[in-house]
Structure 1
Amino acid sequence: MSLALATLIYEWRRYLAAVIALAFSGLLILAQVGMFTGIVKAATATIDRSRADIMILPAKSESLINSGPSGLPQRIQPQIYLHPEVVEVASFDGAGARWSNDPKPGQKQVSTFVQINMVDTRPDAVTLPVDYSEEVRLALMEPYAVAIDRTALARLGVKVGDHAALNGKTVKVRAVLDGYPDINNASVTMSRDTLRLLGMGQKGAKTGPLMVRVKDPTRAATVRDQLNANAGGAYRAWTRAELAQANQGALLKEQIIGVFLGFSVFLGFLIGVGITSQTLRGAILANIKEFASLRALGVSMGSLRVIVLELAFWIGVVGLGATALFTFLVFLLAKSGGVPMGFPVGWVVTVAILLMIISLASGLMALGILKKSQPADLLR
């Protein structure tokens, strides 16, 4: 075991402040990234968990997030069927509607705007999420039946079996979903038939984004390329994983979100460097006689600097572990409250590198204190 690691283990209290500072610097960034990414995951959960292998969007759309109209001409759907490996194509239609609950005596009247998600209730349908239970599928087959995520029941003032109104038409809450929260507008899921009964189905010559299933899911990327080659500028095909990544990237590139994340990175760097460097300086100063003893034994100043930098490295490693623990606890807390979170690998790696840079920079800033480790001071 190296001297630096042994020092950190046996005098961990001296370095605890530095570890905590690093952990909270990382948490400050990851918590915001997780929240913003979770917003996207919640908004596109029905698509991400569908049986679709490919999504068809307008040619100029770069994602489903703030890319303008996502409607496609209806003539495109039969064109997709011309590909020999395509087995099912369905539009993913949706709408917004005014929600009003039917309050019982003493219950609060809730009137708000909700997002409508549509699924086909046919067994193994391409638009039907893979985590829907058979009970939920059968419940949604009932005309005017809707399903709501568990976290939105109180928000919408209903429970299973209650009636409510969507744009003035009566619907019944027949099922509860888990894992489909939405921190913006609450989501209400219904069948395609119910969507039509409510007058919110396809209108005119436009349809929603198309969900496509192919014979062999492992060839989804190949089929995507072939569809795009034959698109003639009318549409763009995406693999489901590719679109999910684009959705996350589109939200994180939003100007206001970029400002938030940029400020968090800057603030985290200042906090991390400030506290970590001062903690290291204080710990080295407290052990200055030990360093002076090493110099008296012939250890060079260069070797002492290496020890300090190695100590900073190990503080960074422990800080990364603490960051992971705190972030996991925040994730569990958010999950219990119905708040979705996601942590893209790229951001996790970026934060890990940033924390190591903060730790090593703090070590470099603390090297100056070694000048006080003069062997002659041992005689005082």
Structure 2
Amino acid sequence: MSLALATLIYEWRRYLAAVIALAFSGLLILAQVGMFTGIVQAATATIDRSRADLMVLPANSESLINSGSNGLPRRLAPQMYLHPEVVSVAALDGGGGRWMNRPKAGEKRVTQFVQVDVVDPIPGAVTLPVDYPEAVRVALLEPYAAVVDRSSLARLGVALNDQATLNGKTVTIRAVLDGYPSINQPSVVVSRDTLRLLGMSDEGDKVGPLMIQLRDPSRAVIVRDQLNAAADGRYRAWTRPELAKANEGALMREQIIGIMLGFSVFLGFLIGVGITSQTLRGAILANIKEFASLRALGVSMGSLRLIVLELSFWVGLAGLAATALFTSAISVLARSAGLPMGFPIGWVSGVAVLLIVIALGSGLMSLGVLKKSQPADLLR
């Protein structure tokens, strides 16, 4: 065990403030990234968990987030079947509507705008999420049946088997989902037939993005390239993981979100450097006689500087571990409250590098204290 690591282990109380400062610096950034990523994952959960291997969007769309009109010519849907590996094609349909509950005595009336998502309650349907319980699928077969996530029940003012009004027509909550929270507008899931009965189905020349199921999902990239080669500028095919990454990237590029994340990174950097450098400086001053003893034994100043930098590195790793612990706790608490969080590997790696840089930079700022480690001071 190195001297630097042994010092950190046996005198951990002196370095605890630096570790906590690094942990909260990382948490400040990752909590916001997790929240914004969770918003995207919640909005696209029905797609991400579907049986679709490919998604087809208009050629100029870069994601599903703020990409403008997603209309595709309706004739493209049957044309997808011309590829021999395509087994199922369905349009991503839905919309928005005015929701009103029917409160019982003493309950509050809720009126708000909701997002309406569509699935086809047919076994193995490309739009049917793979984690939908069979009871939910069967419930959606009933005309005017609706399904909502458990976290949205209170916001919508309903419970299982309650009735409500959607765009002036009566729907009944026939099942409750878990794991499909809505961050902004509450989401209501209905079947395609129910959407048509509600008068919300678009029967025009345009359809929403197309969801495609392949005979062999492992060939998704190959089929994507083949479809794009034949697109002639009419559409663009995406693999589902590719589109999910693009959705996250599009949200992070939003101006207000970029400003918030940039400010968080800057603030986290200042907090980390300020507290960590002062903590390391104080800890080195407290051990200045030990460093003086090492110099008296012939250890060079360069070697002492390396010890301090190594100590800073270990403090950085301890801060990373604490960041992971705190972030995991926040994520669990958020999920228990119905708020999903996601942590892209790119951001996690970036924060890890930032914390190590802060720790090493703080160590460099503390090297000047070593000049006070004079062997002659041991005689006083």
Alignment of 1:293-312 (within 5 A): 293-312=293-312
Counterpart residue number, 2:212? 212
What is the aligned partner in structure 1 of residue 362 from structure 2? 362
Kindly provide the CA deviation profile for residues 316-352 of structure 1, in whole angstroms up to 9, marking residues without a partner as x. 0111000000000000000010001000000000000
Q: For 1:35-66, what per-residue CA distance to the aligned partner results, in whole angstroms no more than 9, with x for missing partners? A: 00000000000000000000010110000000
TM, length-normalised to structure 1: 1.00
Report the 3-state secondary structure (helix = DSSP H, G, I; strand = E; otherwise coil) of the residue aligned with 1:341: coil
Q: Give the aligned partner of residue 245 of structure 1.
A: 245
Matched to 1:227, the amino acid is: L
Aligned twin of 2:154: 154
2:280 and 2:74 mapped to 1: Cα distance?
66
- Per the normalisation by structure 2, the TM-score is 1.00
Q: Deviations over 1:50-89 (max 9, x none)?
A: 0000001011000000000111110111111111110110
Alignment of 1:191-210 (within 5 A): 191-210=191-210
Tell me how far apart the structure 2 counterparts of residues 202 and 76 of structure 1 sit (CA, whole Å): 16
| Partner residue in 2 for 1:26 | 26
Q: How far did residue 256 of structure 1 move?
A: 0.6
CA distance in 2, matches of 1:112, 1:79: 39
Q: How does 1:163-202 map to 2 (within 5 A)?
A: 163-202=163-202
- Identity of paired residues, percent? 75
Deviations 1:111-155 (A, max 9, x none): 000000000011110000000011000000000000000000001
Separation in 2, partners of 1:90, 1:231: 18
Deviation of the 1:203 alpha carbon: 3.0
Runs of 4+ in 1 over 3 A off after TM superposition: none
Rounded to whole Å, the distance in 2 between the matches of 1:130 and 1:180 is 13
**For the residues of structure 2 that align with 1:237 and 1:200, how far apart are their CA atoms?**
26
For the residue of structure 2 that corresponds to 1:194, the secondary structure is helix
Q: What's the Cα RMSD here?
A: 0.5
Q: What amino acid maps onto 1:199 in structure 2?
A: G
In structure 2, give the amino acid aligned to 1:242. Answer: E
Secondary structure of 1:132's counterpart equals coil
| CA deviation after TM superposition for structure 1 residue 33, in Å | 0.3
Structure 2 Cα separation of the partners of residues 69 and 116 of structure 1: 17
Matched residue type, 1:268: G
Q: Distance in 1 between matches of 2:274 and 2:139?
A: 58
- Residue of structure 1 in register with 2:275 after alignment: 275
CA distance in 1, matches of 2:307, 2:204: 73
Structure 1 residues 20-169: aligned runs within 5 Å: 20-169=20-169
- Shift in Å at residue 206 of structure 1? 1.0
CA distance in 1, matches of 2:38, 2:342: 5
Ranges in structure 2 where 5+ consecutive residues have no aligned partner = none
* 1:157-197 Cα distance to aligned partner (Å, 9 max, x none): 00000000001100000010111101100000000000000
Secondary structure (helix, strand or coil) at the match of 1:171 reads strand
Count of aligned pairs:
380
User: Using the alignment, how far apart are the partners of 2:48 and 2:21 within structure 1?
Assistant: 36
Q: How far apart, in 2, do the equivalents of 1:152 and 1:86 lie?
A: 36
Cα distance in 2 for residues equivalent to 1:89 and 1:161: 32
Secondary structure, in 3 states, of the residue corresponding to 1:242?
Answer: helix
| SS of equivalent residue, structure 1 residue 68 | coil
For 1:343-362, what aligned pairs fall within 5 Å after superposition? 343-362=343-362
Distance 2:262 2:16 in 1: 27
Matches within 5 A, 1:298-337: 298-337=298-337
Q: Which residue of 2 aligns with 1:256?
A: 256
Structure 1: stretches of 5+ with no match in the other structure: none
- The 2-side partners of 1:107 and 1:260 are apart by 38
C-alpha distance in 1, partners of 2:204/2:302? 77
Structure 2 SS opposite 1:378: helix
